[in-house]
Amino acid sequence: MELKVTPYKKNKNGSFSAKERLILTMIDYFQVVNEDFENSHLWNKIKLILLVYYLYDKDLESNLDYVIKYSTLFTPPPNDLEIIKQDFQTIVRKIKSGKAHELSEGDTIYLGAVTKSATSSNRRKQPFSEELAKPRAFSFKTSYMSYVLNNYVMGKKKTYEPIISSIFDNEQDNINEQILPNTIYNSFEEYVVSKIGYHEGKSIESLCEEFDIKFDKKPKNLESIIAYRILGIKGNKAEEFIKANIAVKAIRIGKTNTIKEHMSFPTFKFKELIEESWEESKFGNYLRETRFFFIVYKYDNDNVLRLKGCQFWNIPYDDLENDVKCVWEKTKKVLLEGVKITSKNGKNHNNLPKAKENRVSHVRPHAQNSKDTYELPDGRDLVKQCFWLNNTYIYDQLDEKLKS
């Protein structure tokens, strides 16, 4: 039995979530490449865990005052365990490819490979490359630990619908049998891609009719709603996506093979960003830890928007640690030195990083109106800003079959 003590927190809306990921065991790059999951050091650590949850309270002066609220024996349920096995294999394959230095939590679904060292400069050898890699540990992601807390520990009623009941045995659901009879899928992602792909070429209108999607006013997230309905989800949340911190993003490709919109992310507070380091930055960690689900549509020659398919994606290591890092560092520098604001043709412009300056990312406003602002370090107010991924960059990341 493995003992793990971990914090959880109460959110402003009264819900509860894990405060952090659960560290399981360090990854020995030289040992893990010779292990299969069932005989791995990791499996010995997680096959029976005594989980002890304590309530985190930032106002308490001593951690001795934290209150233990829950304790339970925990083994990942069968469906979760199959995805954890796939995650383990994904991590091991990357190490075997000599890319331990490129590992990212966004590579996987429930099980992550998180950096674990006293200093950000710490590095260690890997077996199939001369490049040194950051020390990493296997961990259950924060999103997965939140789900474990609310549904397996607190025993609350499940509020999210699963995409699958079981995709790893011969009992496929009825819809799947109609789509690809007698097909056994090797992974959750393969199943999802196949199910969406079955409807390739159908128009938005025909999909709305087929899945009985009705609305008085077209919702902004209609393309995402359609994807959920195809996957058998009646609402707009899927259990597996919540557990895995998978962000759903709808992408529309124009007739000229371009994407009109850049991809936005949550706004950042200027005074908070200047106190961050890149390694611990909110935006950097968001991209490191998040896996994206792109649902892709394309306008045909008659200007009809049709489903092309879908793709799971996470940002490549080099793009994050070079291009995005550069944009983040320049943003911090501009904020520290003082944002320069000029007026031209009745519009205000600033010197935060622009899309033309970087192939991957940039900064631009993301606010309801000109009065929707945050305070700058120098006391002035500036309309809220956020980091964006460039539309040209997103297009380049799509599988070729989705562009054709």
- Domains, the chain: 2-153 (3.40.600.10), 161-244 (no CATH), 248-404 (3.40.600.10)
pLDDT of residue 186: 78
For 212-232, the pLDDT digits (tens) are 999 888 888 999 999 999 999
Alpha carbon distance 105, 90 (integer Å): 11
SS3 107: helix
Residue pair 32/92 in contact (Cβ under 8 Å)? The answer is yes
Question: Pick from 285, 90, 280, 254: which is nearest to 187 by CA?
Answer: 90
| pLDDT score, position 298 | 97
CA atoms of 274 and 277, how far apart (whole Å)? 8
| Residue ranges of the chain whose pLDDT lies below 50 | 167-181
Q: What pLDDT score was predicted for residue 395?
A: 97
